[in-house]
């Protein structure tokens, strides 16, 4: 007799997902790059590379470096621009795959313009405001580090769109709970965290920083406990759904985030070493729920035992 099927459906901030596994912005291109590796319908959906109004070139190389238990990057939001995303990339995505478009702007009104352009576009199931890029000189990190600026950003984008709105938070803050509360107060539908951790590394043979930009964002397995702590604190602080991100490499990692209060999770750096990682993680979460007698994977959210 086969075990009862587990219901893996999740509603994240008004976005209906087949399962709670998304892929993280900047690590999954525009989805099209991964069609050769998996049927995109095996995952809940994906967050596309952050978009600006105009196409944008990134930083000069080296802008990616492998470090112990993770990677550094200072890509700096190279992207095709919102128009090319809509006309060239989205048509390549199969029907039934929720796409979350990530927005970025070097000033607040520019975020609102990108949000307006993406609202109502078929296949765009929701928006994620990138308030937290750790290596862009103008904008990015400032928006996610100052609660007053973050409030203005969320308020402005909220006024520009009625699409489900996630705000992606920076780990480079003193109180993640405070930032989560700002998003809730300003009308966000959910929060995603964490973005990469500001960091650097050095090659002692050349005495140069590994990245031309000197500073970059640190991601991958090493940041998991830090991300987990922040997701736990944010989930305790607000009623908004939380999308957990940071170092998730396998299903066990993903389940930890769900137990700590995440409604869904995003897989980032792991896509580089295993392009099927997200699909395998979705299967693994379902298997865990079945083995532990859960009828739905949604019941795992916040099921951490702390007594």
Ligand X SMILES: Cc1cc2nc3c(=O)[nH]c(=O)nc-3n(C[C@H](O)[C@H](O)[C@H](O)COP(=O)(O)O)c2cc1C
Q: Beta 45-47 vs 99-103: how paired, if at all?
A: parallel
166 binds ligand X per the rule CB under 6 A: no
123 binds ligand X per the rule CB under 6 A: no
Query: Which CB sits closer to ligand X, 240 or 254?
Result: 254
Residue 96: exposure state from Cβ atoms within 10 A (0-12, 13-18, ≥19): exposed
Contact at 8 Å (CB) between 230 and 176? yes
Minimum distance between the CB of residue 305 and ligand X, rounded to whole angstroms? 25
Q: For ligand X, how many residues bind (rule: CB under 6 A)?
A: 24
Query: Which CB sits closer to ligand X, 140 or 261?
Result: 140
List the interface residues with ligand X, window 204-263 (CB under 6 A). 219-220, 223, 245-248
- Encode 143-164: b = buried (16+ Cβ within 10 Å), e = exposed: bbbebebbbebbbbbbebbebb
- Residues with a catalytic annotation lie at 133
d(CA 222, CA 230): 14
130 binds ligand X per the rule CB under 6 A: yes
183 binds ligand X per the rule CB under 6 A: no
145 binds ligand X per the rule CB under 6 A: no
99 binds ligand X per the rule CB under 6 A: no
Tally of residues, the chain: 307
168 binds ligand X per the rule CB under 6 A: yes
- Spatial neighbors of 12 by CB under 8 A, at least 6 apart, are 20, 44, 126, 164, 166, 190, 241, 243, 263, 264
73 binds ligand X per the rule CB under 6 A: yes
102 binds ligand X per the rule CB under 6 A: yes
Contact at 8 Å (CB) between 126 and 98? yes
Query: Which CB sits closer to ligand X, 21 or 93?
Result: 21
From 13-21, 69-77, 87-95, 278-286, give the range in contact with ligand X by CB under 6 A: 69-77
Contact at 8 Å (CB) between 28 and 48? yes
User: Which residues are near ligand X by CB under 6 A?
Assistant: 24-27, 49-50, 71, 73, 75, 77, 102, 130, 168, 195-196, 219-220, 223, 245-248, 268-269
């Amino acid at each position: 007799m086969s075990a009862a099927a587990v219901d893996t459906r999740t509603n994240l901030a008004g976005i209906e997902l087949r399962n709670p596994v998304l892929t993280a912005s900047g690590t999954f291109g525009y989805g099209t790059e991964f069609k050769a590796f998996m049927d995109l319908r095996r995952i809940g959906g994906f967050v596309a590379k952050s978009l600006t109004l105009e196409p944008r070139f990134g930083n000069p190389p080296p802008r990616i470096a492998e470090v112990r238990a993770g990677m550094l990057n200072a890509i700096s939001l190279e992207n095709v621009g919102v128009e090319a995303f809509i006309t060239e990339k989205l048509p390549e995505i199969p029907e039934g795959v929720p796409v979350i478009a990530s927005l970025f702007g070097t000033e607040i009104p520019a975020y609102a313009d990108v949000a307006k352009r993406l609202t109502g576009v078929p296949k765009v199931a929701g928006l994620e405001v990138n308030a937290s890029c750790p290596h862009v000189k103008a904008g990015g990190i400032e928006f996610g580090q100052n609660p007053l600026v973050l409030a203005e950003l969320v308020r402005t984008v909220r006024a520009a769109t009625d699409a489900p709105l996630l705000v992606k938070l920076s780990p480079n803050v003193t109180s993640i709970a405070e930032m989560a509360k700002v998003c809730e107060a300003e009308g966000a539908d959910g929060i995603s965290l964490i973005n990469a951790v500001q960091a650097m590394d050095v090659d002692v043979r050349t005495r140069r920083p590994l990245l031309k930009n000197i500073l970059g964002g640190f991601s991958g397995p090493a940041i998991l406990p830090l991300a987990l702590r922040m997701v736990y604190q944010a989930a305790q602080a607000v009623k908004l759904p939380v999308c957990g991100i940071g170092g998730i490499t396998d299903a066990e990692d993903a389940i930890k985030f769900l137990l700590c209060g995440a409604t869904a999770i995003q897989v980032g750096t792991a896509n580089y070493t295993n392009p099927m990682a997200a699909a395998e993680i979705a299967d693994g979460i379902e298997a865990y729920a079945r083995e532990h007698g859960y009828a739905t994977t949604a019941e795992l959210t916040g099921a951490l035992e702390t007594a």
